């Protein structure tokens, strides 16, 4: 089997919450606020994945979660959530050359008034 140019391998970690120091208003700058983050990473794909294909042929999903949690610098205040998304994308690009593109969606949970999802989606390709 050979790859079709439109074939894609997307890893996704969706809707997990992370407390992050972010915001521009005085009430946002003192304590971390909860962000709901979804990450989609497009990887270089193999021609085929057999039942015994090792993890090294792909990427560990937990690397995506790590990029948006423990890899965020502790004690650093991100004025904009765009800076948080940028840091996540940079981390994933640095971790693995097989990452072709990353999409990060961030929803600021603390500012919702009626359960609406307020936030951004940032996508970068190599």
Instruction: Supply the CATH number for residue 86's domain.
Output: 3.30.1130.10
CB 68 within 8 A of CB 88: yes
Residue 40's nearest CA partner among 91, 81, 118, 101 is 101
User: Which two three-digit tokens encode residue 110?
Assistant: 């603390």
Domain contains 48: yes
How far, rounded to the nearest angstrom, does the alpha carbon of residue 41 sit from its chain's CA centroid?
A: 8
Domain contains 3: no
Domain contains 2: no
Q: Which residues form the domain of 38?
A: 9-125
Residue 23's nearest CA partner among 108, 101, 90 is 108
Three-class SS state of 115: coil
Domain contains 76: yes
R_g of the chain, CA atoms, integer Å: 16
**What are the pLDDT tens digits along the chain (126 aa)?**
677 878 899 999 999 999 999 988 766 677 899 999 999 999 998 888 899 999 888 899 999 999 999 999 988 999 999 999 999 999 999 999 999 999 999 999 988 888 889 999 999 999
Domain contains 77: yes
Residue 8's nearest CA partner among 55, 59, 46 is 46
Number of compact structural domains in the chain = 1
CB 31 within 8 A of CB 20: no
Domain contains 53: yes
Amino acid 78: pLDDT: 94
What secondary structure letter does DSSP report for 57? Answer: G
Domain contains 42: yes
CB 79 within 8 A of CB 67: no
Domain contains 66: yes
Claim: this prediction has a pTM higher than 0.85: yes
């Amino acid at each position: 089997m050979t790859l079709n140019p439109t074939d894609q391998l997307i890893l996704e970690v969706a809707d997990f919450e992370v407390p992050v120091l972010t915001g521009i208003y005085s009430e946002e700058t003192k304590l971390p606020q909860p962000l709901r983050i979804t990450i989609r990473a497009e990887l270089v794909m193999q021609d085929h994945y057999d039942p015994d294909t090792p993890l090294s042929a792909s990427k560990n999903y937990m690397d995506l979660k790590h990029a948006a949690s423990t890899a965020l610098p502790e004690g650093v205040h991100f004025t904009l959530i765009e800076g948080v998304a940028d840091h996540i994308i940079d981390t994933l690009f640095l971790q693995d050359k097989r990452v072709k593109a990353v999409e990060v969606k961030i929803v600021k949970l603390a500012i919702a008034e009626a359960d609406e999802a307020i936030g951004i989606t940032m996508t970068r390709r190599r």
